[in-house]
A and B are shown apart, each in its own frame.
Chain A
Amino acid sequence: MKECKICIIGFGAVGQGVAQAISLKKDIIKDKYNTNLKVVAVADSSSSVVSQKGLDEELLVETKELNGNLKDYPEHSGKLTGMEILETVDYDCLIEATPTNIKNGEPARSLTLKAFDDGKDVVTSNKGHLALNFKELMDAADKNNVDFKFEATVGGAMPIINFVEETLSSCEIESIIGILNGTTNYILSRMTSEGSSYINTLNESQELGIAETDPTQDVEGIDAACKTVILANAILGIDATYSDVEVEGISKITSEAINLAKKEGYLIKLIGEVSQDALKVSPRLVKQGSAYDLNGTLNMATVKTDLAGDVTVVGKGAGSLETASAMITDLINIIKNK
């Protein structure tokens, strides 16, 4: 029986989802891939726990839910930061789930580079460092001959990066066009069905917990732009960074514009587009009844290929366990290759 020792750095919704998913799936992974998953360290922004014997995933989540940190967990180690954990703990794979930082990509960038330098594999859900430093990270992973997986960064549970790489490997990819942000899709869908104004719909989304208290990242297209640039690099091999994306959000969309579009059989959606000619996020007109006619918080992407024509994928773009599902799939792919 092999063993895979895991560090989870970042223990918000995604980190907790990963712990839960490991708890739910570790027996199946043991049977199917002859590998025992063992969480040896977890850190959030204010606390950390370490045990080489392995931590109890359910208890980690319960403790975090009760107190908002991990200080009451029996093996609580107090002051160790994420970086200190990577320096001191014996592990095989870093699950990096810290919040996205589009200014400088930290702490994800430093944590990831540190793990690579130590010859460790990394699975991440973090978009910031990938959108800013994609090439640097990939080069470092290659140099150290380690695996670096980031399916969860684009579209949460919607399969796209692994899907194109593995399932569409016979095809050349011409473009990817899709709805890459669930919050804005929810807002535009509600504006369309209710005829409500942008600001009222945003308020409603915030009350429902769909939009954040500070919704800038979503409504100004920043989140979708990060995903667009990751797809450009990972799938189309375009050496681009966040500042190369032309970004326009949805905050200027009026209910009148939505009604005018509706009258002509169109919907307005926030669309990310990646091709050799375009790298942009902007509100676009899509035909009612087309693949882009997707409501609520769902994400979708249409991949234009040379051999297979257009292939469209749809899935849940956010959520704790949904995002974790993509990270566990990445982890399994790493285990399978060992």
Chain B
Amino acid sequence: MRMDLILELLDVPGQLVSVLEPIGGLGTNLVTVIHQRDMKNKRGMIPVQITLEGERNNLNKVIEKFKELNVSILEIDGIVQKENISTILIGHIVDKDIRDTTDKINELKGVYVNSFDIKLDGEDKSSALISIEADIGNKKLIFDRIKQIALEKDLLMINEV
């Protein structure tokens, strides 16, 4: 059977080879690779489309291997493996170390802060909308982390329903 994957790679030499290397060793064959170095996404990463052929068990082993190697998988057979999550924070966001807030969210595995849109209302309090991309199924984990940050920094958190 065949399996289509969309991976996301860093734009540094050797990345593609390191990802393709384990495929043969796990009893699967590479059918196609579409790799366009000049097509970066908004995180500055390069999406790579690959098609593999092999037994289901072996294909699953490749997925496991990619996860082990921390290779970001965007889609498996057309099914999106990432979701976008938005949240709003209100309070002294800038004074309470905005870099640290972002880092603490990014620390979570498979979670990436896409944008941090901040508006000052003329006073010292500000409002920010954070857009996060994350592996499917991590919503609660992310909201728990942001809740913890909001408590520590006395921020009001407004989550999605």
Instruction: Enumerate chain B residues within 8 angstroms of A285, measured Cβ to Cβ.
Output: 86-88, 158-161
Q: Are A256 and B86 in contact (CB under 8 A)?
A: no
Are B121 and A286 in touch, CB under 8 angstroms? no
CA distance A284 to B91 in the complex (A): 16
B138 → chain A closest CB, angstroms = 16
Evaluate contact between B158 and A283: CB separation under 8 angstroms: yes
Question: Is the CB–CB distance between A261 and B161 below 8 Å?
Answer: no
| 21 A-B residue pairings within 8 Å (CB atoms) | A252-B91, A254-B125, A256-B119, A257-B90, A257-B129, A259-B119, A260-B88, A260-B117, A260-B128, A261-B86, A261-B129, A263-B117, A268-B158, A273-B161, A285-B87, A285-B88, A285-B158, A285-B159, A286-B160, A286-B161, A292-B161
Q: How far is the CB of B8 from chain A (nearest CB, A)?
A: 23
A286 to chain B, nearest CB (A): 5
Measured between beta carbons, the chain A residues less than 8 angstroms from B119 are 256-257, 259-260
Assess whether B161 is in contact with A264, with CB atoms less than 8 Å apart.
no
The number of inter-chain residue pairs (CB within 8 angstroms) is 64
Taking a contact as CB atoms under 8 Å apart, the answer to whether A284 and B127 are in contact is no
Number of interface residues of B (CB under 8 A): 20
Most buried by B among A263, A264, A286: A264
B residues 98-152 in Cβ contact with A at 8 Å: 117, 119-121, 125-129, 131
A168 contacts partner chain B, Cβ-Cβ < 8 Å? no
Q: How far is the CB of B42 from chain A (nearest CB, A)?
A: 15
Q: What CA separation (Å) do A283 and B159 show in the bound complex? A: 8
**Residues of A close to B63: CB separation below 8 A:** none
Any chain A CB within 8 A of the CB of B156? Answer: yes
Chain A interface, DSSP helix/strand/loop, else mixed: mixed
**Could you mark each residue 277-296 of chain A with 1 if its beta carbon is under 8 Å from any beta carbon of chain B, else 0?**
00000111110000010000
Which residues from chain B contact A255 at a C-beta distance below 8 Å? 121
Q: A253 interface residue, CB < 8 Å from B? A: yes
Q: How far is the CA of A284 from the CA of B87 in the complex (A)?
A: 9
- A177 on interface, CB distance cutoff 8 Å: yes
Q: How many residues of A contact B (CB 8 A)?
A: 23
Contacts of B161 in A (CB 8 A): 177, 271, 273, 284-286, 292
Give the Cβ gap from A11 to chain B, nearest Cβ, in Å. 38
| A161–B161 alpha-carbon span in the complex (Å) | 22
User: Which chain B residues border A256 with CB–CB below 8 Å?
Assistant: 119-121, 126-127
Residue of B nearest to A262 (CB): B129
Q: Interface residues, chain A, CB within 8 Å of chain B? A: 177, 248, 252-257, 259-261, 263-264, 266, 268, 271, 273, 282-286, 292
B66 to chain A, nearest CB (A): 31
CB pair B90 A252 closer than 8 Å? yes
B129 & A253 in contact (Cβ 8 Å cutoff): no
Min Cβ gap B48→A in Å is 28
CB distance from A221 to the nearest CB of B (A): 12
User: Can you name the residue of chain A whose Cβ is closest to the Cβ of B91?
Assistant: A252
Chain B nearest CB from A51 CB (Å) reads 51
Query: Which chain A residues border B88 with CB–CB below 8 Å?
Result: 257, 260-261, 268, 285
User: In the assembly, what is the distance between CA of A292 and CA of B160, in Å?
Assistant: 11
Taking CB atoms, residues of chain B closer than 8 Å to A292 are: 161
What residues on B are CB-neighbors of A248 within 8 Å?
156
Q: Is the CB of B160 within 8 A of A284?
A: yes
Inter-chain CA distance A177–B119, complex, in Å, is 29
B128 proximity list for chain A (CB < 8 A): 260
Cross-chain contact of A254 among B86, B90, B117, B160 (Cβ < 8 A): B90
Residue of B nearest to A273 (CB): B161
Given contacts A248-B156, A252-B156, A259-B119, whether A266 and B126 have CB atoms under 8 Å apart is: no
Q: CA separation between A223 and B125, bound complex, in Å?
A: 27
Of B86, B90, B91, B121, the contact of A266 (CB 8 Å cutoff): B86
Assembly CA distance A266 to B161 (angstroms): 11
Taking CB atoms, residues of chain A closer than 8 Å to B87 are: 285
Check if B129 sits within 8 Å of A263, measured CB to CB: yes
Q: Closest CB-CB distance, A262 to chain B, in whole Å?
A: 10
Other than the given A257-B158, A264-B86, A284-B160, 14 more pairs (CB < 8 A) read A177-B161, A248-B156, A252-B91, A253-B158, A254-B121, A254-B125, A256-B119, A256-B126, A257-B88, A263-B129, A273-B161, A284-B158, A284-B159, A285-B160
CB distance from A199 to the nearest CB of B (A): 12
- The answer for the CA separation of A263 and B88 in the assembled complex, in Å, is 12
Check if A260 sits within 8 Å of B129, measured CB to CB.
yes
Tell me the complex Cα distance, A254–B128, Å: 10
